[in-house]
């Protein structure tokens, strides 16, 4: 059980130090790892001694070392000084000696001199040997107990910290029912302040009523009610036009002037917080573990199954789940709940190879923050609510945790999907390097959950990860969910109902691209850096671009309860605007107006992406570039596709000088699921701050850009498995070259006031709406011109 040898004083005074013996660096995985892995557990330091030219660390553990020998010298210092130095032999304890000393240690950990003398005589050892053995044994027991106590205290500390954080958020979110302001604790608010708050509430209601009457008279019809819980922005009413916005807007287009004045609504404070979910009770944990095993078995079978479980669509090559066969194969407890006709089933499967090893992928999936960073365009919010099991000995295999997530499409025209689910991770003991991660719902046995809108239930979904050589992994993804049937804007209806919006193909496409980005982020053998001074500066610039992309994605959907307002009551209108008041660092402080417009274009999405990502071609669009040319001064490739890159652009304007240079940070990325072009203006000092390694979170970023999604024509028939059989589109309605196209979403953001409580006026909304309409008009004209020039030679040859 423990060491079984006796260490005597060293030969010739030669001591091998613990630093020199155990100072070699830990062995690392040759494949890159962009996220912090599990900490390297070092062995406790031991001082080994020579025995006939060999080191025996195990003997030392049993018979005493380090502090025990110091104690020996302090107790017998006079005796040791008189003894001549000579070579002493080692004595190895036998199994019977260790067994006898263990038996006495259990009864009496601190034996007195008589007990040690008696035991030494019975075992044929010296009293000092027995003394040192008991000293070492007590030290080992104390260290083991300390480690156990530390682990318990860490768990209790984390629980208390989360509870404290939850209570603080709850206190901060309390709203006064009378005035709508923050609620004050008794004794902190005087009588005068209470009266002022009530008067302020009355005046605010009066102002809203008068504003509503004036707006109704201006528009000739009453304003539509938005939401009962929403509140109007408080005064003061400032004259905030777009003169501070550094762009010149042309006259409005005829098709975009039909505007109605609607009140600008601010999202409630509580909308940005995670919905509360009760923790699982102790009696519910065995049920959760049983369902985890059933869900894992279902996921593995769905990943490896063929027909009749999956039926391949010959028109587009996609696989469709046979719901009848699925219900027959998996009659497990979660299927016992009545299936509502209001819920629509979506199921998809896909497989791909990614440049990331399985350990790093598993670590990212089990960490909510890393999971969001890995899927910035899909996961808008995520949180680990409760850890039910952390696996065996801290290993990821066997871990089970309750999570919350909100999934999005990058458009305010598509509602987000949010819900709580359990995530279970398991390593295949028979196949080395094979992992499985499954998500499954908890509403079948746990009802203490806030309902989401629209209702969304994540059926057993996840991925199967298999290690491949050179740090690659093959990932098979299953996406299976039930969602409430709600109308979606006609531009995105086919994209959503076909299952592509939240399907496995989109998850894997984003995962492949993000893994390539991580590989580029961790690369060190970069020779051509341009104006970037070092590889570390290159890494910091990529992190700044990642934060810009994250801000862009979160703020253009309905995530976090962001309220979007339509500028026209026409069903064909896709322009939506929203306001945010920002007081935290990372974005410009004040009132931000965001406007988003989407349209369908009859051009392949890679053609549209090529036009918008190229700064030289984009600068020809006056409404976007404001007539200024752009020059690329730094380029960072972050993927195999040439369109996946981070660029630092110089804005060539007349006001530029050696003291003041305007720059633009841009990131473009593309994959099979769509493309993004995101950019923001930034000054030289901020770029230097980011590249120097300082914390870039204080740099204010206000990104704008474009989202391009490949879809068919607006009348294309979708293929959804509702009754277990796939709906195969006809040849006329399939993804033929004549019917292919893309959805283009243009996003513009503007800081209309540095006062967060300012009220938005109609001129700002009109200006930004005209800007969106003109931008779409110029982009469409540029694409049409490019297509006409490309097709001219073919037409001429055909006529000849």
* pLDDT on residue 551: 94
Read off the pLDDT of residues 550-597 as tens digits, 9 standing for 90 and up. 999 999 998 877 889 988 888 888 899 999 998 888 899 999 999 999
Is 644 a residue whose pLDDT tops 80? yes
Q: What is the mean pLDDT of residues 461-473?
A: 93
Q: How does residue 543 score in pLDDT terms, banded at 50, 70 and 90?
A: very high
pLDDT tens across 258-286, in order? Answer: 332 323 333 333 334 556 556 888 888 88
Residue 735's pLDDT band, with cuts at 50, 70 and 90, is very low
What are the b/e assignments for 664-690, b being 16+ CB within 10 Å?
bbbbbbbbebbbbbbbbbbeeebbebb
pLDDT per residue over 358-379, tens digit each?
Answer: 999 999 999 999 999 999 999 9
**How far is the C-alpha of 217 from the C-alpha of 171, rounded, in Å?**
42
Question: Which contiguous run of DSSP H or E holds residue 744?
Answer: strand 740-753
CA of 452: how far to CAs of 111, 415, 418, 656, in Å?
A: 66, 11, 6, 50
CB atoms within 10 A of CB 23: 8
Are the C-beta atoms of 741 and 712 separated by less than 8 Å?
yes
CA quadruple 52, 56, 59, 63: dihedral positive or negative? Answer: positive
C-alpha–C-alpha distance, residues 481 and 455, integer Å: 11
| Per-residue model confidence as pLDDT tens digits over 670-687 | 999 999 999 999 988 889
Residue from 501, 213, 465, 216 nearest 364 by CA: 465
Copy the structure tokens of residue 340. 């509502």
Element (H, E) at 208: helix 191-219
Kindly tell me if the per-residue pLDDT of 215 is higher than 60: no
92 Cβ contact list (under 8 Å, min separation 6): 4, 5, 6, 59
Among residues 216, 178, 219, 220, the alpha carbon closest in space to that of 199 is found at 178
Count CB-CB contacts under 10 A for residue 199: 11
Q: What six digits make up the tokens of 23?
A: 């100072």
Alpha carbon of residue 302 to chain centroid: 26
Q: What is the mean pLDDT of residues 146-171?
A: 84
* For residue 438, pLDDT beyond 50: yes
**Six token digits for residue 727:** 């709906």
Segment 304-325 shows an average pLDDT of: 86
C-alpha 707/C-alpha 675 separation (Å) is 6
Identify the pLDDT of residue 798.
35
Least confident of 193-207, 329-343, 562-576, 631-645: 329-343
Note the pLDDT of residue 11: 40
Residue whose structure tokens are 């005493």: 64
Alpha helices in 462-566 (DSSP H): 490-497, 504-522, 535-554
Give the end-to-end CA distance of the chain in Å, rounded to a whole number. 94
DSSP tally for the chain: helices H, then strands E: 20, 25
> Are residues 347 and 327 in contact, defined by beta-carbon separation less than 8 angstroms?
no
> Residue 388 is encoded by which pair of tokens?
């039910």
pTM given for the model: 0.64
Q: How far apart are CA 310 and CA 323, in angstroms?
A: 9
Put residue 319 in one of left, alpha, beta given phi > 0 → left and psi -120 to 50 → alpha.
Answer: beta
Among 714, 618, 628, 713, residue whose Cα is nearest residue 663: 628
What kind and span of H or E run contains 769? helix 762-799
Round to whole Å and give the CA distance between 411 and 557: 5
Q: Reply yes or no on whether the pLDDT at 503 is more than 90.
A: yes
């Amino acid at each position: 059980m423990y060491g079984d040898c006796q260490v005597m004083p060293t030969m010739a005074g030669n001591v091998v130090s613990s630093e020199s013996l155990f100072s070699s660096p830990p062995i690392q995985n040759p494949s890159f790892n962009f996220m912090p892995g599990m900490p390297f557990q070092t062995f406790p330091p031991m001082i080994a001694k020579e025995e006939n030219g060999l080191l025996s660390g195990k003997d030392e553990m049993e018979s005493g070392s380090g502090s025990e020998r110091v104690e020996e010298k302090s107790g017998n210092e006079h005796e040791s000084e008189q003894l001549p130095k000579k070579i002493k032999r080692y004595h190895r304890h036998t199994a019977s000696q260790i067994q006898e000393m263990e038996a006495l240690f259990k009864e009496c950990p601190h034996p007195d001199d008589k007990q040690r003398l008696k035991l030494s005589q019975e075992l044929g050892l010296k009293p000092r040997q027995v003394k040192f053995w008991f000293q070492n044994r007590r030290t080992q027991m104390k260290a083991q107990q300390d480690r156990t106590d530390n682990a318990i205290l860490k768990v209790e500390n984390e629980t208390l910290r989360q509870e404290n954080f939850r209570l603080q958020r709850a206190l901060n979110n309390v709203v006064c029912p009378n005035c709508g302001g923050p609620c004050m604790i008794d004794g902190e608010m005087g009588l005068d302040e209470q009266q002022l708050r009530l008067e302020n509430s009355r005046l605010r209601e009066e102002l809203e009523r008068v504003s509503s009457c004036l707006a109704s008279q201006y528009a000739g019809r009453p304003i539509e009610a938005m939401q009962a819980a929403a509140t109007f922005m408080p005064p003061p009413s400032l004259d905030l036009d777009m003169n501070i916005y550094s762009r010149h807007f042309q006259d409005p287009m005829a098709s975009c002037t039909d505007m109605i004045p609607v009140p600008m609504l601010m999202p409630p404070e509580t909308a940005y917080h995670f919905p509360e979910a009760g923790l699982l009770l102790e009696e519910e944990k065995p049920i959760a573990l049983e369902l985890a095993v059933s869900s894992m078995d279902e996921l593995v079978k769905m990943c490896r199954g063929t027909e009749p479980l999956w039926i391949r669509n010959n028109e587009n090559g996609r696989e469709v789940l046979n719901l009848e066969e699925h219900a027959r194969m998996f009659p497990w407890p979660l299927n016992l709940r009545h299936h509502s006709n209001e819920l629509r089933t979506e199921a998809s499967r896909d497989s791909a190879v990614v440049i990331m090893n399985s350990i790093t992928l598993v670590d990212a999936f089990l960490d909510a923050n890393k999971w969001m960073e890995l899927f910035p365009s899909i996961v808008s919010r995520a949180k680990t609510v409760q850890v039910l099991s952390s696996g065996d000995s801290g290993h990821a295999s066997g871990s089970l945790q309750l999570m919350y997530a909100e999934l999005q499409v990058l458009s305010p025209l598509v509602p987000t999907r949010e819900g709580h689910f359990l995530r279970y991770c398991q390593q295949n003991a028979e196949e080395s390097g094979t992992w499985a991660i499954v998500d499954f719902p908890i509403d079948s046995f746990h009802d203490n959950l806030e309902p989401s809108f629209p209702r969304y239930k994540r059926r057993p979904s996840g991925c199967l990860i298999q290690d491949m050589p050179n740090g690659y992994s093959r990932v098979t993804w299953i996406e299976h969910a039930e969602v409430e049937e709600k109308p979606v804007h006609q531009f995105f209806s086919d994209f959503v109902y076909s299952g592509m919006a939240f399907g496995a193909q989109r998850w894997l496409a984003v995962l492949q691209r993000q893994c390539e980005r991580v590989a580029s982020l961790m690369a060190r053998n970069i020779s051509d850096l341009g104006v970037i001074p070092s590889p570390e500066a290159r890494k910091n610039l990529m992190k700044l671009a990642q934060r810009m992309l994250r801000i862009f994605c979160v703020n253009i959907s309905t995530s976090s309860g962001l309220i979007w307002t339509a500028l026209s009551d026409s069903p064909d209108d896709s322009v939506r605007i929203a306001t945010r008041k920002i007081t935290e660092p990372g974005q410009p402080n004040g009132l931000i107006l965001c406007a988003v417009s989407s349209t369908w274009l009859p051009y392949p999405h890679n053609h549209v992406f090529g036009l918008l990502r190229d700064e030289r071609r984009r600068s020809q669009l006056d409404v976007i570039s404001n007539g200024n040319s752009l020059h690329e001064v730094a380029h960072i490739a972050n993927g195999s596709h040439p369109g996946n890159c981070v660029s630092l652009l110089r804005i060539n304007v007349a006001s530029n000088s050696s003291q003041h240079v305007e720059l633009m940070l841009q990131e473009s990325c593309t994959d099979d699921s769509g493309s993004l072009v995101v950019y923001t203006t930034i000054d030289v000092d901020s770029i230097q701050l980011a590249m120097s390694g300082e914390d870039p979170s204080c740099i204010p970023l206000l990104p704008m850009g474009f989202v391009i999604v490949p879809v068919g024509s607006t009348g294309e028939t979708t293929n959804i498995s509702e009754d277990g059989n796939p709906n195969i589109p006809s040849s006329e309605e399939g993804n033929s070259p004549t019917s292919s196209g893309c959805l283009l979403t243009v996003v513009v953001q503007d800081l209309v006031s540095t006062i967060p409580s300012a009220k938005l006026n109609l001129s700002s909304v009109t200006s930004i709406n005209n800007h969106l309409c003109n931008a779409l008009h110029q982009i469409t004209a540029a694409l049409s011109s490019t297509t006409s020039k490309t097709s001219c030679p073919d037409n001429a040859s055909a006529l000849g």
